[in-house]
Amino acid sequence: MKFLDNPPRFLFFTGKGGVGKTSIACASAIALARAGKKVLLVSTDPASNVGQVFGLTIGGTVTAVPAVTGLSALEIDPQQAADAYRERIVGPVRGLLPDAEIASITEQLSGSCTTEIASFNEFTALLTDTDGVTDGFDHVLFDTAPTGHTIRLLQLPGSWTEFLDDGKGDASCLGPLAGLDKQRSIYADAVTALADPDRTRLVLVTRAGRSPIAEIARTHTELADIGLTHQYVVVNGLLPAPDGRDALETAIHHREQALLDSLPGDLWTLPIDEVELKPTNMVGIDALNSLFTSTTAAEDQPPGSGPAGLDVSDAPLSRLVDELAADDHSLIMCMGKGGVGKTTIAAAIAVALAERGHQVHLTTTDPAAHLTETLDGNIDNLEVSRIDPAEATEQYRARVLKSKGAALDEQGRANLAEDLKSPCTEEVAVFQAFSRVIHESRRKFVVVDTAPTGHTLLLLDATGSYHREIARQMGENTNFTTPLMRLQNPDETKVVLVTPAETTPRLEAAGLQADLERAGIHPWAWVVNNSLAAAAPSSPLLRRRAGAEATELATITAEHTQRYAVVPILAEEPVGVAALRALAHGSRDDITAE
């Protein structure tokens, strides 16, 4: 592996959830330890399963891995770190401020940005050796790296506390930075270490899919722009060259190779390693030892293997559509992490409802406007629109800078401008655009692809952007309905969570469900997308992978939802009305045919 040639002391592994960062990091740690190095593996992944991978309990203290001489591991619990971080800020004012004010502050500190900054706070000491934890280790490997946005925030000078207290910030992730001035010199040393190629190497991990590749392209540019240029790419889970007997396997292989042949931006100029898909999950030392070797023939396994009592072939998307179609209008929001297939599922639902005679408006924030091009506006009863997140966000930033930035000095405007680069800003801007079409769901079906998180919805509510502001304007005795109230009403809104049957995306979907429920929004159904078990492959390798889905499918149906659909992985991209119709219908023959 190129990224393991003459490695520096620190290696950071980053990429979208579910691409295999933990597996790559663990296998790398073993390889370095086998080479006689003393290695510390640190995980800051919210869905960390490092302990499960090694078959032992790790936690927040450095723990030796008995099966691998020279290897130790440490798990930083992001939620625990965020809770402690939040309490350090909220604790001193609890009892001094009204409960409503405390609730507002707490909510501003409940987003992903707080978790990331709290985690960065934890491993800063590891980068700067301030507490001696890394003494004696030749290499320290981090499973999950901070984003460029977080690093930029930590680089900015000025008093964040004063900036926030004066009301200059907006709905964003600046809240977590209140009171951090004492840490600035330590953060500066950590950022310097990250940017030093003699000390740090960044490994961008991806799968051969459009969304995860787009994510590492964005990360590459974002980090390179702030001086973190020593980057490598690892493409994980690639199908090995097929023998041609399984049409599904052959089609997926060709699709992956086409994506690799057209890498965006200047990713192709970076050193690239390819890691083949393995027949089993990467759990245990033996499995990890095989990760960087070529795949051998897999043992055969019956197709469609799933958990006892769950027939994956009897959970088509059409079953959910039948329930939705019982009404003549509704707001249907397809939510989930990037790369899980929200756009495809939303389009399939919209097409199925339209072909049943219902009036449907499908709107999406997919930057690649392939839905409009594919549907071409020629389907009866179906209107398609696209909200451009970049355009909506730029307009929102301009409005805020013009209004709140007018009275600020140069440093204040710089702080505000960085504030408005947060992920929360895009969610707020897109939600404002969505709110203009939400009201249509009172008389037709509105199917929305991509939606704000529960944290953003609560943040909007807490800051008065929607619910409180409208309540104040309308008066106590006036009836009104805000977008948030409409989302909270199960008779008006159906939230569909989309995930593959893999551990990390499933945990992220469960976290999103909990986040939404805090906002009073209860998901209606789950869609398990790209299921090998439902596709019934004939290749031994894919059959083994299908069997590995059993545990995740059982967990989803037992712990998260009783209403679900299982959608097979496709031989070809689901482009066009016929493909989307087949996807919703759930016909295995239609879906997997070449």
- Closest residue by Cα to residue 439 from 487, 384, 383: 487
Please say if 20 is a catalytic residue: yes
140: helix, coil or strand?
Answer: strand
Catalytic hit among 18, 169, 209, 306: 18
In the residue annotation, 23 being an active-site residue is answered as yes
Of 14, 23, 134, 453, the catalytic one is 23
Residue of 14, 15, 22, 134 with catalytic role: 22
Is there a catalytic annotation at residue 269?
no
Q: Tokens 């769950």 label which residue?
A: 310
Specify burial of residue 529 (Cβ count, 10 A radius: 0-12, 13-18, 19+). buried
The rounded distance, in Å, linking the Cα atoms of 46 and 12 is 16
> Which residue in the list 16, 17, 28, 45 is annotated as catalytic?
45
* Nearest-angstrom CA–CA distance, 554 and 265: 40
Q: Is 158 a catalytic residue?
A: no
Q: Output the CA torsion 517→521→524→530 (10° steps).
A: -70
- Nearest Cα residue to 275 out of 201, 202, 200, 208: 208
Tokens of 353: 């409802």
Instruction: Specify the DSSP element, H or E, that contains 267.
Output: none
Q: Which two tokens stand for residue 241?
A: 């060259």
Q: How far apart are CA 296 and CA 309, in angstroms?
A: 32
Q: In what order do the strands lie in the sheet with 71-75?
A: 63-64, 71-75, 39-43, 139-143, 10-14, 200-207, 231-238, 272-276
Pairing of strands 71-75, 231-238: unpaired
Q: Per the residue annotation, which of 150, 499, 504, 592 is the catalytic one?
A: 504
Asked whether 238 and 276 are in contact (CB, 8 A), the reply is yes
Return d(Cα 53, Cα 22) in angstroms, integer. 9
Distances (CA, A) of 508 to 21, 42, 253: 15, 20, 27
Q: Is 45 a catalytic residue?
A: yes
Helices (H) and strands (E) in the chain, counts: 26, 15
Helix, coil or strand: residue 402: helix
364 in helix, strand or coil?
strand
Walk across the sheet containing 445-449 and list its strands: 382-386, 360-364, 445-449, 330-335, 493-499, 525-531, 564-568
The CB-side HSE value for 462 (13 A sphere, CA atoms) comes to 23
Q: Which position among 14, 16, 17, 21 bears the catalytic label?
A: 21
| Residue of 15, 17, 20, 586 with catalytic role | 20
Q: How many residues does the chain have?
A: 594
Q: What is the set of active-site residues?
A: 18, 20-23, 45, 504
